[in-house]
Structure 1
């Protein structure tokens, strides 16, 4: 049985000084109800013991959980709504959730202490290094961080009398809280601020019906795998060597395509790091594993491309050619329908560039190729626009001012208009209540948006939405959705760029067949194809009946060139008779100077 997700009542009123505690309790209750089978003894004990704490200790713990890092100076743990923070902290120490005297690494010592305090604590080391007493904090760190001393308790670092008995404590329960947050959100990208932003009205979300069983994870092994992959990525970003991290990359549960995609992204990043570090063999191994689709996913396209380019750079042309030929054969076997994942256009573009080079280097006869015609090009020499304060404005603004007239207005839309019209027409399909798509109140879009089966799971729903383009109903649907859903988070909507006048002009001048073609391409790869659309649109309502009543304009300033995703859209427009031009701009002052 489905239940409607109650968005507004979820967040506590900010008038309540303990609003953050109410939100934290909400998450604990939600996870206990919907994820009990995924909880271990430690999480269950934490939830039960938390409920038994005095409110002041609960509040202090949540304040610490919601802050950055695990180490805190006790003088920074003072909040007006918590009467006696010291007593509240003692209860957390007694519970074993806060460590009263943790060991501090050298870096953590510098993060916690002020410059004057560091000079007192590290006086011996500073003198031994011959540093002046006035040395800056960054200078001290660079000079002393390479010393062999390991982590130690604060008092063992040196003279801490200047702290006047103040302590540095460590929150030791953060891993449990992160696990609970992960089970609630389904990711570690979102955090407790979502509640506050929703209460302030800065973020608003669609209310979606879903079953209580709908959730991100179906087993504890999946949660463990996510956390392991997340920590490895953090360590990579912190500078650990890729060979050590690669050895620790875990497998993911069989049949979980989205976890497999996360694993593939990590392996791809490890391959990039190894390649930058001069370890091509490790890079090739990581790229190959990223493309394996071990957990049921389709492999990592960027890893396939990067692997080919690396083989070419290493001179392994035969191996690269064989791999590229396999990729071509695989792509030819895929169909471009809503029922199957379409061949990736990025991969096609890369192969079109790479294969002719490989054939030349291997002495093979070139295959006949028909180069796609270039997009229509305009060249304009314009005066550089400036703001009222004298600051130079963007090149798009200059083209808008030059081309736009009251009869033929020009709008800066970039990726907002076509994707916005799609998002408005297909709102019911995008926000359909499907298992695993929505499982908490703060989804800006379906959780499976970037997965290979996103479209196929909603095939009939998308087909029903697009059918409105055939009978004219799409006009009313798009405008009604804009009125009813305006401001709600959606991966396809940039509300500030879509006003009613722009929508009315677009619906009046863009043929339904052109919209259908654009929407079909969005559905082939929603993640990649939401970007790369032209900067401007000009409406031409007085154009000849046989000519389109609009045109799309991609603007390129001096020294700028088309990106690959822009080239793909422009080629698609040309193939489908959609009017699009590339406008290359030079500045009059530069032209005169040259």
Structure 2
């Protein structure tokens, strides 16, 4: 048996759940065969095509396969079994409760080698295995981790904090362990309202008492009774309350409101509980008829007491996590999950050099800009043009005052396309400093879309010209030039539309796709007598990629859903699946392939450029809990690492792909990295695809993503096909009967072709109607 370190001892009694392999058709008698104390063992499933670490659970007596251990456990045990360092036996703890339940098993691990290096390898795996399978963070862990956030923020950004945050920290520190854990649990959950009777956490033995403590401290609010809903000072958010209610509860609440209207009132037909959308419309009608207070009371009668985190407390914690992570895509849930063992982050140097906000006022203005942008997006999605225009009034005033042309200190000295600090500009709003920042320019872009929708092209042109005269959102400039030219053409001002397209081509900020779109506009508009001479670059404009057509009639189409076809196998399928079936035929090349769009390419990029992604560049890693540098989607990424990236690309093109892929995989498999899904693409499959694509092709793709990760994020061909026997690869963009290529897709096709890769378009066309 294992002996020695504590982690090894933990592995002795490792508990795990596994899924039975042949669940379909499982009978009650087969369920009973999983009796408690049934002996099992583990064996590596070496021929599994999807996961090289797949680990089978076998019956110890017959050797019959019962199922697989979870992927996160197999990833750690599999290499040990493959190297014959350990043998694993175990027993079933209890029979599954149903045909869909997992089977709990306790394992015993025997060490087969006494070499010190082998013992250490098993010990390291044991530590990771314990982290991967242990339950969610306890109350003590939650509080300890949040205290770490507080300490880091006060240490690094104390100048940005005020009495509001200080009072919160003092109040939170005075909470009991149960109340503090409940506060963090509620903050991490999607709400805002939660049923008091369903708050069940092991670290909160008395949820009602903890809620009372939070309310007394001003960190939570409750809605306990219909009478409270009728109070004049009560807050009513019927939509939020309705989100808590089940469909049946919504039905009963609506019925209760309608019953109060009297016998002569019009009744709405009772709807099946599953029709939630219809019930919500019915509730809206009841709100109009009876008022928000009555509707809130009717909902509370069904849901029982509710609790939510107080708005002020939520705002403070949101601000603290923004300062800690400096990313709207990350929050405390990532941090806590990492310490619970569910997530493993790469190791890199955390280096803060440049202050993002020089004052609290700048931070608050940035937050206000984010809130305004959220309100604008909500209004546009809801089709509420009046609310959207109200949010845009301040943005238009800022543009009219030329505030979008000014930069706040300390970015004035470092702002240019060649600056490695360019990504920090996105955090600037600075309205009170007569600066309209990155967020406001994005709002203005959305406002231009609204003007175009209303066909107010003259005003849209004016706003686009103002944005092009500013200093923010450089990656949006190509889109602004294109839309400016299109809007001028809508007004019949074709000569000006041509001039704007030509002017846009001189803009250094253009992405490849935007440049191609402008070039194609110029060639279309620049015909005699407007232009007698073709541009010098005309010959280099990407030609249309090769097109292949297959004939297939789509099945009955539903508006808003992708078309489906009858596949070659006789089963309904998507257009991409139909294309894969076509290319798999011997007469079409016998290709192996996948519908990946950019998925596998993002994996290749992150694996091959791992060294560059996590290089010690100042200010891009501000906490130990990031899956990518903060500047990845900006021009700063390539600028700040140019020499390193060029060296790596040279090695890739020279044939060093396999060595680099294996080294990164062995060293970092399982670590959270943007673009990589470790469970989706096994290493051996990646090596096969890489051999078919070739080093030159991979270097081309990686270069494009490194230079402009955001600009090249979309438009990659739908299918990647490979043929290991011929060491060939092909990329295919699939189009349905009424689809056409976008400019970004044309740009990808041209760039990949220039890199030596074969690219084509597969067009699925409908059969011609027969003549009667």
Query: Which residue of structure 1 aligns with residue 207 of structure 2?
Result: 85
Shift of 1:223: 2.8
C-alpha separation in 2, matches of 1:556 and 1:156: 50
Query: Which residue of structure 1 aligns with residue 371 of structure 2?
Result: 231
Contact persistence 1:408–1:541 (CA under 8 A): no
Give the CA RMSD over aligned residues. 4.1
Alpha-carbon distance change, 558 to 279 in structure 1, aligned in 2, over 3 angstroms: closer
Alignment of 1:135-534 (within 5 A): 137-146=279-288, 162=301, 166=305, 171-172=310-311, 173-195=313-335, 197-198=337-338, 203-211=343-351, 219-239=359-379, 241-249=387-395, 254=408, 255=411, 256-259=424-427, 260-280=437-457, 283-295=460-472, 297=474, 299-328=476-505, 330-331=506-507, 334=508, 343-359=510-526, 364-365=530-531, 367-368=533-534, 369-370=538-539, 372-380=542-550, 385=567, 390-392=571-573, 394-403=577-586, 410-412=592-594, 414-469=597-652, 472-534=655-717
For structure 2, the 5+ residue unaligned runs are 1-127, 223-227, 229-233, 272-277, 412-423, 428-436, 553-564
Query: Which residue of structure 2 aligns with residue 3 of structure 1?
Result: none
C-alpha separation in 1, matches of 2:649 and 2:243: 55
Alpha-carbon distance change, 327 to 10 in structure 1, aligned in 2, over 3 angstroms: farther
Shift of 1:308: 2.7
Query: Which residue of structure 2 aligns with residue 4 of structure 1?
Result: none
Shift of 1:290: 4.4
TM-score scaled by structure 2? 0.63
C-alpha separation in 1, matches of 2:689 and 2:299: 68
Shift of 1:304: 3.1
Q: Which moved more, 1:299-308 or 1:116-125?
A: 116-125
For structure 1, the 5+ residue unaligned runs are 1-6, 335-340, 543-548
3-state SS of the aligned residue for 2:710? helix
Say whether residues 1:564 and 2:743 are aligned partners.
yes
Contact persistence 1:292–1:299 (CA under 8 A): no
Contact persistence 2:353–2:619 (CA under 8 A): no
From 148, 151, 154, the equivalent of 1:32 is: 154
Say whether residues 1:130 and 2:311 are aligned partners.
no
Query: Which residue of structure 1 aligns with residue 57 of structure 2?
Result: none
Alpha-carbon distance change, 433 to 164 in structure 1, aligned in 2, over 3 angstroms: closer
C-alpha separation in 1, matches of 2:132 and 2:502: 54
Alpha-carbon distance change, 454 to 162 in structure 1, aligned in 2, over 3 angstroms: closer
Contact persistence 2:468–2:480 (CA under 8 A): yes
C-alpha separation in 2, matches of 1:206 and 1:392: 39
Q: Deviations over 1:463-498 (max 9, x none)?
A: 221232465444422321122222333334344453
Contact persistence 2:609–2:645 (CA under 8 A): yes
Contact persistence 1:444–1:491 (CA under 8 A): yes
Shift of 1:143: 2.2
Alignment of 1:524-563 (within 5 A): 524-534=707-717, 535-539=719-723, 542=726, 549-556=727-734, 558-559=736-737, 560-563=739-742
C-alpha separation in 1, matches of 2:300 and 2:512: 65
Contact persistence 1:11–1:196 (CA under 8 A): no
Shift of 1:564: 2.8
Query: Which residue of structure 1 aligns with residue 7 of structure 2?
Result: none
Give the structure with higher Rg (CA). Answer: 2
Contact persistence 2:441–2:473 (CA under 8 A): no
Shift of 1:398: 0.6
Q: Which moved more, 1:561-570 or 1:465-474?
A: 465-474
Shift of 1:90: 2.6
Contact persistence 2:590–2:723 (CA under 8 A): yes
Shift of 1:576: 4.3
C-alpha separation in 2, matches of 1:55 and 1:577: 62
Say whether residues 1:67 and 2:189 are aligned partners.
yes
C-alpha separation in 2, matches of 1:110 and 1:475: 55
3-state SS of the aligned residue for 1:440? coil
Contact persistence 2:637–2:707 (CA under 8 A): no
Shift of 1:210: 1.4
C-alpha separation in 2, matches of 1:483 and 1:408: 32
Q: Deviations over 1:12-66 (max 9, x none)?
A: 9626355444443332233223322221210122112201112222123223222
Q: Deviations over 1:487-532 (max 9, x none)?
A: 3333343444533333433454545444433333333322232443
Alpha-carbon distance change, 162 to 511 in structure 1, aligned in 2, over 3 angstroms: closer
Alpha-carbon distance change, 210 to 566 in structure 1, aligned in 2, over 3 angstroms: same
Shift of 1:584: 3.9
Shift of 1:447: 1.0
C-alpha separation in 2, matches of 1:66 and 1:460: 41
Contact persistence 2:237–2:296 (CA under 8 A): no
3-state SS of the aligned residue for 1:489? coil
C-alpha separation in 2, matches of 1:314 and 1:76: 60
Say whether residues 1:16 and 2:199 are aligned partners.
no
TM-score scaled by structure 1? 0.80
Contact persistence 1:21–1:59 (CA under 8 A): yes
May I ask how many residue pairs the two structures share in their alignment? 564
C-alpha separation in 1, matches of 2:284 and 2:454: 23
C-alpha separation in 2, matches of 1:209 and 1:194: 19
Alpha-carbon distance change, 491 to 580 in structure 1, aligned in 2, over 3 angstroms: same
Contact persistence 1:71–1:171 (CA under 8 A): no
Say whether residues 1:104 and 2:236 are aligned partners.
yes
Contact persistence 1:505–1:539 (CA under 8 A): no
3-state SS of the aligned residue for 2:665? helix
Shift of 1:574: 3.4
Contact persistence 2:220–2:307 (CA under 8 A): no
Contact persistence 2:566–2:572 (CA under 8 A): no
Contact persistence 1:258–1:297 (CA under 8 A): no
C-alpha separation in 2, matches of 1:458 and 1:189: 24
Higher relative contact order (CA 8 A, sep 6+): 1
Shift of 1:451: 1.5
3-state SS of the aligned residue for 1:451? coil
C-alpha separation in 2, matches of 1:458 and 1:127: 75
Alpha-carbon distance change, 281 to 444 in structure 1, aligned in 2, over 3 angstroms: farther
Contact persistence 1:74–1:167 (CA under 8 A): yes
Alpha-carbon distance change, 129 to 501 in structure 1, aligned in 2, over 3 angstroms: same
Alpha-carbon distance change, 81 to 474 in structure 1, aligned in 2, over 3 angstroms: closer
Q: Which moved more, 1:194-203 or 1:525-534?
A: 194-203
Contact persistence 1:408–1:539 (CA under 8 A): yes
Shift of 1:374: 3.2
